[in-house]
Amino acid sequence: MLVIAHVSDTHFGNDVQDPAARAAAVMDHLLAMDPRPDVLLVSGDVADHGLPEEYAEARAWLDRWDGPLAVCPGNHDVRDAFVAGLGIATRIVVETGGARFVMLDSLIDADETGRIDPGRLGDDQLVWLDARLAEDDRPSYVCLHHPPTTIDLALMDPIRLRDGDARAAVVARHPHVVAVLVGHAHTMAATTFAGRPLLIGGGVVSTVTADAEAPPTLWYDAPPAFALHLVGDDGRVTTHWRALPSGGQ
Ligand SMILES: [Fe+2]
Ligand SMILES: [Fe+2]
């Protein structure tokens, strides 16, 4: 059994909620597990404004975790500050537990108008992804911040990955891709992409609701949420989402 703790959208520095308290509650929960998860995956929007002090807080939070770690940036992150503050490159492969986690960088740099919320991988990175998947046939997880397809949330669908179709073609070529793991959408949700499970890690700092739901679209009173992906010896992934009763509310 491989256990992936999938935490997303901590948004350290967010001034609506108490992101540090929420992230701490999630980490407390993970560290109390016995045995602990095999890997901690953080799928972006680590910081809210991409500031050095936010990454210092995030690094201190990550330092509590002494196991394998896989982190990618989101649209709220700033690439240079992310790399400098966390000491983690934005496009890496993490190997652990007989599995590979290909971490992608879907962040589009801010321009003169400010932060850009949709994501893009670009042709170079799609070639890189194809090569990483072709070089090793162990079970692999493709991880990035932006969902590469629509998920029927009015807030999120316009700011999804822009080149999702090209990415689907790459994933489709590699049958050992077990699942695609993403963040950004701040919701505990599962769908499919290129014939594989597309699993969204939930949101630590807030939850994004559908138009039909009564709470606000950015629901900060919802509890911090994350996912545990359990991969059985038969290769099947079973996801259990958790929403914690504590953490800055
Ligand atoms: Fe986010
Ligand atoms: Fe995001």
Query: Closest-lying ligand to the alpha carbon of 75?
Result: 2
CA distance 109 to 77: 9
How much distance in Å is there from the Cα of 47 to the middle of ligand 1?
9
How much distance in Å is there from the Cα of 165 to the middle of ligand 1?
22
Residues 52-71 have pLDDT tens digits of: 999 999 999 999 999 999 99
Those residues whose beta carbon sits under 5 angstroms from the ion ligand 2 are 45, 74-75, 184
pLDDT at 183: 98
How much distance in Å is there from the Cα of 210 to the middle of ligand 1?
16
Residues 190-248 have pLDDT tens digits of: 999 999 999 999 999 999 999 999 999 999 999 999 999 999 999 999 999 999 986 54
How much distance in Å is there from the Cα of 44 to the middle of ligand 2?
7
CA distance 125 to 138: 20
Whole-model pTM over 0.85: yes
Q: Do the strands 39-43 and 2-7 form a parallel or antiparallel pair, or are they unpaired?
A: parallel
